Amino acid sequence: MTSTTTIARPVDEDALRAVLATRSRPPRPSAFSASVTFGWRAMRKIRHVPEQLFDVTIFPVMLTLIFTYLLGGALAGSPRDYLQYLLPGILLQTVVMITMYTGMTLNNDITKGIFDRFRTLPIWRPSAIVGALLGDALRYALASAVVIGLGLLLGFRPGGGAIGVLLGVLLVLLFSFSLTWVWTMFGLLLRTQNSVLGVSMLVLFPLTFGSNIFVNPNTMPGWLEAAVRANPISHAATAVRGLMAGTATAGQIGAVLLACLVLVGIFGPVTMYLYRNKR
């Protein structure tokens, strides 16, 4: 039997130094650039999985058509009249319903191990989550454009004009961005995507359907009317409806902004704590 012995050669210090010191260490990315990069990552996923656009294109069209023509005649006498009340609310519901996919996407990254790789990078820690939220905000804007465009085709005529519609959409995006922190927390807490979906729907359905999106709460029993008026979705729908009609008050808008601050103030720190200590 022949044995082969490998003799280690001495390291050439000059060659090693040339490899390790060819250039200076690149600067650490700023919080803004890191967040934008992760936002761009979220948008590039659509290129590989274009089915993700179904929930911001097909879903809004279905909701608008179904509720306008199914309930319009019974609630307002005609679908066209009902559309003036419904469309701002259905816009809010459409965007709010798709916010839960942010938590599902984060949970998928955790399951695949991508989440752990992000946490080892020399970047601003919250950038992975903030960037994902920014990327999803563009999807929310696309859903809003689909609903508004369809509404105009069906006969929706906003009294507040283009400015009122734009301000209403911006308020919807701000409220949805704030609400997304709740589903991000669920994405970190729960173990599977199905669990995130189930819990999110369990929260969203009572909030959206137990609001003033579809009917005026004046027609409800007293106890139910009080619950509907206390619902933050109702405050958001009222403010968006007022902005598009040109009748919004400072109190209506202020209530939504306060709700946004409360959502981010409570669930933002909790989410970041879970993010830093996730095992």
Tell me the pLDDT band of 56, cut-offs 50, 70 and 90. confident
Owning domain of residue 201: 30-277
Contact 79, 153 (CB under 8 A): no
In a domain? residue 58:
yes
In a domain? residue 22:
no
SS3 string, 159-199, reads: CCHHHHHHHHHHHHHHHHHHHHHHHHHHHHHCCCHHHHHHH
In a domain? residue 147:
yes
pLDDT at position 108, please?
Answer: 84
Q: What is the mean pLDDT of residues 201-220?
A: 90
Q: Would the pLDDT of 84 be above 60?
A: yes
* 50 three-state secondary structure: helix
Q: What is the mean pLDDT of residues 149-163?
A: 92
Q: How many domains does the chain have?
A: 1
pLDDT at position 265, please?
Answer: 94
CA–CA separation, 166 and 89 (whole Å): 15
The pLDDT mean for the chain works out to: 85
CA–CA separation, 202 and 108 (whole Å): 20
- pTM, rounded to two decimals: 0.83
pLDDT at position 59, please?
Answer: 81
Q: What b/e readout covers 161-198, taking b as 16+ CB neighbours within 10 angstroms? A: eeebbebbbebbbebbbbbbbbbbbbbbbbeebebbbe
Q: What is the mean pLDDT of residues 84-109?
A: 88
In a domain? residue 21:
no
In a domain? residue 238:
yes
pLDDT at position 142, please?
Answer: 86
Q: How many CA atoms lie within 13 A of 144 on its CB side?
A: 23
Q: What is the pLDDT of residues 224-277, one digit of tens each?
A: 999 999 999 999 999 999 999 999 999 999 999 999 999 999 999 998 888 877
Least confident of 16-20, 96-100, 185-189: 16-20
Q: What is the mean pLDDT of residues 196-207?
A: 90
CA–CA separation, 17 and 269 (whole Å): 44
Least confident of 18-27, 43-52, 142-151, 175-184: 18-27
Least confident of 86-90, 97-101, 154-158: 97-101
Q: What is the mean pLDDT of residues 14-43?
A: 76
In a domain? residue 23:
no
Contact 202, 278 (CB under 8 A): no
Task: Return the structure tokens found at 67.
Answer: 């509720």
Q: Which of 53, 278, 259, 66 is nearest to 185 (CA)?
A: 278
CA–CA separation, 278 and 211 (whole Å): 35
Q: Which of 264, 204, 205, 259 is nearest to 236 (CA)?
A: 259
CA–CA separation, 25 and 263 (whole Å): 39
Q: What is the mean pLDDT of residues 16-30?
A: 69
pLDDT at position 218, please?
Answer: 87
CA–CA separation, 105 and 55 (whole Å): 14
Q: Would the pLDDT of 21 be above 70?
A: no
In a domain? residue 86:
yes
Question: Between the ranges 16-25, 37-46, 137-146, 167-176, where is the mean pLDDT highest?
Answer: 167-176
In a domain? residue 10:
no
pLDDT at position 245, please?
Answer: 93
Q: What is the mean pLDDT of residues 97-120?
A: 83
